[in-house]
């Protein structure tokens, strides 16, 4: 049997930029400094432990920092992301529906730590909602995958067409369409279509923008904004108009679903705008008159899910 090929995608250390080039910290609060230094150490230890596990296995593997990822991932049997949901999201932009992904949470939140510092600062670490692995169970989870004892779930992704042209990135969590300045009103219209025919009225909006999420993303910003959690394997999309101005008769249409056999057509009416994909790092510019089409007609992402989500 041919050896499996793995890519180990690593969250970088520069996400905790607390030491300046002169060797001094730019953080005066000693407890915050120690907390961030501990996060760096925990993440570094997790990398070392997981790499040591991989060295014992009969697999070919290669580590790469997620910042250095620029080309589609191919010719590997498994992508292991070591960080949190953000690292898994970044990996999802570079894999098709044939390569499964295993997320390993390298720095999980410690409830006792959050409680200890609750009156001083936010000690929340990584949520790792989509991460099935941790330092403690990584070897067992990996063995189950290599031995074919577990199968990945197929998560829906969101397809984005701009002026009838397919964008190269599919969203695993959500997209936000908004003016580049958060204090500026976003003007747009939208309607739901099925089989190329409108199945809802045209809704004209002035607001802070429009967020559309997948089922996987319904537990993230969508939920924080007042949305609802969707079944993880749902192929529907959930949308919400952010802070609508005088919605009037369209109040009921400020939040709803785009079914798996439907699409959302958006007409952008502001001078400029941005489509943010899975956060702030990936975005595309739009301008007045542009047409955006959103749907779940995208390649799925195969993800090894935590037991409480996959059952």
Per residue in 83-129, pLDDT (tens digit) is 999 999 999 999 999 999 999 999 999 999 999 989 988 989 999 99
Encoded tokens for 24: 């001094």
Instruction: Say what the pLDDT of residue 1 is.
Output: 60
The architecture in CATH of the region 4-155+302-310 reads 3-Layer(aba) Sandwich (3.40)
Q: How far apart are CA 158 and CA 173, in angstroms?
A: 8
Per residue in 199-257, pLDDT (tens digit) is 999 999 999 999 999 999 999 999 999 999 999 999 999 999 999 999 888 899 999 99
Domain boundaries, the chain: 4-155+302-310, 159-295
Whole-model pTM: value is: 0.92
DSSP string, 255-294: EEEE-TTEEEEEEE-SSEEEEEETTTTEEEEEETT-EEEE
Would you say 158 and 216 are in contact if contact means Cβ atoms under 8 Å apart? no
Instruction: Say what the pLDDT of residue 311 is.
Output: 58
Would you say 254 and 225 are in contact if contact means Cβ atoms under 8 Å apart? no
**Strand 101-105, strand 301-304: pairing:** parallel
Per residue in 25-52, pLDDT (tens digit) is 555 677 887 888 889 899 999 999 999 9
The architecture in CATH of the region 159-295 reads Sandwich (2.60)
Encoded tokens for 134: 């941790």
C-alpha distances (whole Å) from 260 to each of 122, 193, 297 are 38, 11, 8
How far is CA 258 from its chain centroid?
19
Q: What angle do CA 250, 252, 258 make, to 5 degrees?
A: 100
Angle between helices 138-146 and 30-56 (to 10 degrees): 30
Output b/e per residue, 218-255; b: 16+ Cβ within 10 A. bbbbbeeeebeebebebbbbbbbbbebeebeeeeebbb
Give the pLDDT mean for 147-154: 96
Q: How far apart are CA 107 and CA 102, in angstroms?
A: 15
Domains 4-155+302-310 and 159-295 share a fold: no
């Amino acid at each position: 049997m041919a050896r499996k090929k793995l890519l180990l995608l690593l969250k970088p250390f520069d996400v905790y930029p607390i030491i300046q080039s002169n060797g001094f910290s730019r953080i005066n609060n000693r407890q915050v400094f120690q907390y961030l230094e501990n996060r760096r150490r925990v993440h570094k230890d997790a990398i070392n432990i997981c790499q040591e596990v991989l060295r014992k296995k009969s697999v070919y593997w290669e580590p790469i920092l997620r910042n250095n990822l620029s080309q589609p991932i191919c010719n590997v049997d498994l992508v292991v992301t070591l960080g949190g949901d953000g690292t898994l999201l970044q990996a999802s932009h570079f894999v098709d529906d044939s390569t499964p992904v295993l997320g390993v949470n390298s720095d999980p939140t410690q409830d006792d730590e959050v409680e200890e510092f609750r009156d001083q600062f936010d000690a929340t670490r990584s949520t790792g909602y989509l991460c099935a692995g941790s330092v403690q169970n990584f070897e067992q989870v990996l063995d189950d995958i290599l031995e074919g004892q577990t199968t990945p779930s197929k998560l829906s992704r969101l397809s984005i067409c701009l002026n009838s042209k397919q964008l190269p990135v599919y969203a695993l969590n959500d997209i936000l369409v908004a003016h580049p300045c958060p204090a500026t009103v976003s003007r747009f219209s939208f309607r739901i279509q099925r089989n190329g025919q409108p199945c809802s009225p045209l809704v004209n909006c002035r607001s802070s923008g429009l967020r559309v999420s997948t089922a996987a993303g319904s537990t993230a910003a969508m939920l924080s904004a007042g949305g609802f959690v969707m079944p993880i394997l749902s192929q529907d999309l959930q949308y919400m108009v952010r802070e609508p101005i005088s919605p009037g008769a369209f109040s009921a249409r400020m939040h709803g679903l785009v079914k798996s056999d439907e699409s959302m057509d958006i007409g952008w009416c502001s001078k400029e705008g941005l489509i943010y994909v899975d956060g702030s790092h990936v975005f595309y510019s739009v301008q007045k008159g542009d047409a955006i089409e959103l749907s779940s007609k995208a390649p799925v992402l195969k993800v090894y899910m935590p037991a409480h989500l996959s059952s």
